[in-house]
Amino acid sequence: MKFTSKLYSVLLLFTIFLFSLTGISRAGEPIYQYSIIDSLLAGNYDGELTIGGLKKHGDTGLGTFNRLDGEMVFLDGEVYKVNAHGTAVKMNDSERTPFAAAAFFKTGKIIKLDSVKSLEDLNSKISNSLDSENLFYIIRIDGKFSKIRTRSVPAQDKPYPPLKEVVKNQSIFGFKDITGTLIGIKSPSYIKGIGVPGFHWHFITKERTSGGHVLNCIFSNLAAKVGTYSEFQLQLPETKSFLESRFEQDRQKELKEVEKDSEKK
């Protein structure tokens, strides 16, 4: 009986070890998202979820803040706002968000990146190393970057304009030979309307003093830590603006306009 018990324990540990090697997120730790991207695109910039509430669902992620006040970088259990001046500020738990995604980050795979010449190049290299395009991933890249180009936006006043209008007045920041962290979420193509299909990247410096939504990047000899998630948890707002919104319109073209880098190559 003792031998059987010991054998079972060994097999259980071995199974856990195998799951950690394949990068499968353990049960009970899904990607969590508050609200939908089409709601944000439509100009619903006030949410009920507090930063303290978001932290119950993860330690890593990204999003924005009420009134669309800056870009959110959620890293190592702390939430930072990169404001329209490019300054990163640690946020207290009482602040609220209209859109955010997070998970408890667990490295399941490490991808070596010898040379990355653009954000598109980074996305391609990561995609080619993943097991499936139909799961969710969180990616973390720490190190020194040759160039990073980011953006943020100022807080909006009511009546809120749609997001495609807001980004026309975005602030752009350029970094050279900067040390920091890229946090990305890769979502399946079928998530359109709910989340951001493909990659969504934010950046923060090592000192946690600046960063933003990533428009482009160049670096070499770094490694991407990747966590794989096969569960997705969506929490919908109950705000008046969300409940009264209509979401029949396909906003994928708007999303591409919002996400793209306006810099002429």
Are residues 44 and 241 in contact, defined by beta-carbon separation less than 8 angstroms?
yes
Q: What's the pLDDT at 4?
A: 40
CA 88-92-93 angle, to 5 degrees, is 135
Q: What's the pLDDT at 262?
A: 58
* CA-to-CA dists, residue 102 to 2, 138, 168, 182, 217, angstroms: 42, 9, 27, 15, 23
Cis amide linkage into residue 159, ω under 30° from 0: yes
Q: What's the pLDDT at 52?
A: 98
| CATH code of the domain made up of 7-259 | 3.30.1330.80
Q: Closest by alpha carbon to 45, among 78, 72, 25, 20?
A: 72
**pTM exceeds 0.75:** yes
Domain ranges of the chain: 7-259
Burial 11-41 (b: 16+ CB within 10 A, else e): eeeeeeeeeeeebbbeeebbbbbbbbbbbbb
Q: What's the pLDDT at 29?
A: 86
Half-sphere exposure of 203 (CA within 13 A, CB side): 29
Average pLDDT of adjacent 10-residue blocks, the chain of 265 residues = 40 39 52 98 98 98 98 98 98 98 96 98 98 96 98 97 95 98 98 97 98 98 97 97 96 90 57
Are residues 34 and 41 in contact, defined by beta-carbon separation less than 8 angstroms?
no
Provide CB contacts within 8 A for 118, sequence distance 6+: 216, 217, 218
